Structure 1
């Protein structure tokens, strides 16, 4: 079963409303979708029935929509519950974010601010400390938004000189750590006060003659950056 990461809250947008969904609330909705019962879903989520109703009420009040539809039971009682189309949309959005996180288990996490948006070129610029990066335009983001940029270790390559290429983001840094990670060499670089990690092959390390304190350039394509709105 797909689950939201423990201790993490995701901002879910539905129309012009949004709601912070955490692990418990997500699992409750997911379990309702699976079992068709709030009572069973509450037990699987390890919360009380009263708490589950409170969670549902908070979500529906914040978004001003119904996310769970219930029907009363017959003579035998019981009743049933199912997610509305909006409730299923919330699950879908959460799973999309989770899929990004699973795809990039080892990622550089950088808090940044959107400082410009270019709709004509379909890109936007984000800033962290004194560094800028270009990433694909996300229509949901506006100038001034704080975001988390995620760049996989495997998507960052190392150069000894700055080169002209299709890569939009090339940052100068200094190696502060070199370590072995499985069959790969992990390089940690200080880039203007921000630490970035890159995984390279042993042969690449030897060819580049990497060592502690050496100045390098780190490059990555704009499309290799995933983002979450904070």
Structure 2
């Protein structure tokens, strides 16, 4: 089965949801039909839910998004202001960029720098710090949940990839590079067993870390699926992709 990466995003103002995919679609329907009630029916939502969404957007917006149209044969209605139309265009540009970003993740899952890769473990993270000395650079990588791992790559690789603090990168780890321990230490990832495939000499174990990452590991140690483990990867074994 082909895997596909999907996602949605929000624009927030004053720590409140301002614009999202559904709200933008609602605005488009209002602009099309000239009526909040007709737009709500088309969106299969209640009039109150539609009105509340419009009210929240208008209250958070720097300028009015909708304006009332004087009554006439149709009894009046609502239409987008020029500012509202501008917001929709800007949203569509952001949404297109976001789709391109998701597509780039799918492409990365297949190729890195034009070459197919065998490493199954790819973790999206952020560079917290870069420390270079004697042609080697140590990168501190921040994962979800405020957990960190480290990577050591050459200084020339940092320059060629134009890596800098706060960049989003992908940590690439081979299954054979993950060490499994029963005790905790600095830089270890607390994990739980999801599945085990037992071979003649090795076990193929899928772990889920406490912060939600899935890691595949090849190991020869005995694994109890009902207990927790701690995973560690040497910084030299963590590659970086962009």
With normalisation by structure 2, the TM-score equals 0.44
- If each structure's strand is expressed as a fraction of its own residues, which one has the higher value? 1
Of the two, which has the highest radius of gyration? Answer: 2
Task: Return the TM-score normalized by structure 1.
Answer: 0.46
